[in-house]
């Protein structure tokens, strides 16, 4: 028996990185099926190859309401209901600092990053809320250490991830008592996280940054860089009605301990 037996989820950005690990783990916990809203057709092919009919890839862009709406409708048509929305799509700004970024580029990167990281969550929530309400289900959004602390990106990424905290609180308020709304906040993780076109980073991967793993390892109190699967138990816990019935507007930090600001010298 799994913690998510017979549940149905929709995961945005579930074709790679943390989202893909969540898809695998949800199925491992007994989920009946998972819809995945993604942009990249190659990721759709590899999801079909790995999971067959247990996963339904839906090609679309989280910034477009109609795509979120279609993802919900297709998931419900395929698997009969929706228990959990995992809003997870994000792009990073590759430390585009205030004074190192041209004003016009800064403005464009704000529009693009906020549209993906914040509006994408808002629209997915709007599209999924009615189906989740029918199941007394829940939403879980992927946040970041940048939802709480400076230094994990430039001002635009950090502000976008702080904004998603406010979104979780307000949605939890508006959707109670029917739908629980929570977050998981990973720290630096080995994924192909990319950047926005407005910064020319649409094909650059975080995992390719020279020295990134060492920098994360050195800065993290627990002393290692996480893999996507290291975070997935938190999503399972929050999705599970049996184990999180009394939890809404909560954020589980999975960042190796940024709160404690380093390691004590021994």
Strands 55-59 and 84-87 turn out to be: unpaired
Tell me the per-residue interface mask from 2 to 21 with ligand NAD, x by CB under 6 A, - otherwise: -----------x-xxxxx--
Q: 179: which residues sit within 8 A by CB, 6+ positions away?
A: 129, 132, 133, 136, 137, 138, 139
Among 40, 102, 111, 208, binds ligand NAD (CB under 6 A): 40
In the complex with ligand NAD, the residue whose CB is nearer, 30 or 200, is 200
CB atoms within 10 A of CB 88: 26
* Interacting residues of 118 by C-beta distance below 8 A, sequence separation 6+: 160, 163, 164, 167
In angstroms, the CA 94 to CA 97 distance is 9
Q: Are strands 8-12 and 33-38 parallel, antiparallel or unpaired?
A: parallel
Run of H or E including 212: helix 212-219
Which of 15, 33 has the CB closer to ligand NAD?
15
Per DSSP, 221 falls in state: T
When asked if residue 88 is in the footprint of ligand NAD (CB under 6 A), the reply is: yes
Is the peptide bond prior to 177 cis by the omega test (within 30 degrees of 0)? yes
- Residue of 191, 198, 220, 232 interacting with ligand NAD (CB under 6 A): 191
Closest separation in Å from C-beta 17 to ligand NAD? 2
DSSP letter assigned to residue 119: I
- Per-position x/- string for 90-129, each x denoting binding to ligand NAD as judged by CB under 6 A, each - no binding: xx------------------------x-------------
Site string for ligand NAD, 51-70 (x = CB under 6 A): ----------xxx-------
- Pick the catalytic residue: 65, 157, 173, 235? 157
CB of 191 to ligand NAD, least distance (A): 3
The least distance separating ligand NAD from the CB of residue 166, rounded to whole angstroms, comes to 16
Active-site residue numbers?
157
Residues that bind ligand NAD (CB under 6 A): 13, 15-19, 38-40, 43, 61-63, 88-91, 116, 142, 144, 186, 188-189, 191-194, 206
């Amino acid at each position: 028996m799994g913690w998510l037996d017979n549940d149905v989820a929709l995961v945005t950005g579930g074709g790679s990185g943390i989202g893909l690990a969540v898809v695998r783990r949800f199925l491992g916990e007994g989920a009946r099926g998972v819809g995945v809203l993604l942009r990249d057709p190659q990721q759709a092919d590899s999801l079909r190859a790995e999971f067959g009919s247990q996963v339904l890839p839906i090609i679309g862009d989280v910034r477009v309401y109609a795509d979120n709406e279609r993802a919900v409708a297709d998931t419900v048509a395929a698997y009969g209901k929706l228990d959990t929305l995992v809003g997870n799509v994000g792009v990073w700004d590759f430390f585009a600092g205030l004074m190192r970024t041209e004003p016009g580029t800064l403005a464009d990167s704000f529009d693009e990053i906020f549209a993906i990281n914040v509006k994408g969550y808002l629209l997915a929530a709007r599209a999924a809320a009615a189906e989740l309400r029918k199941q007394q289900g829940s939403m879980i959004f992927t946040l970041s250490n940048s939802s709480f602390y400076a230094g994990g990106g430039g001002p635009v990424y950090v502000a976008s991830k702080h904004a998603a905290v406010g979104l979780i609180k307000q949605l939890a308020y508006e959707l109670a008592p029917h739908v629980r709304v929570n977050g998981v906040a990973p720290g630096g993780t080995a994924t192909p996280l990319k950047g926005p076109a407005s910064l020319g980073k649409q094909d650059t991967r975080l995992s390719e940054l020279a020295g990134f793993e060492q920098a994360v390892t050195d800065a993290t109190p627990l002393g290692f860089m996480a893999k996507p699967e290291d975070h997935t138990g938190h999503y399972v816990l929050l999705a599970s009605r049996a184990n999180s019935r009394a939890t809404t507007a909560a954020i589980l930090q999975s960042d190796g301990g940024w709160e404690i600001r380093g390691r004590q010298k021994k």
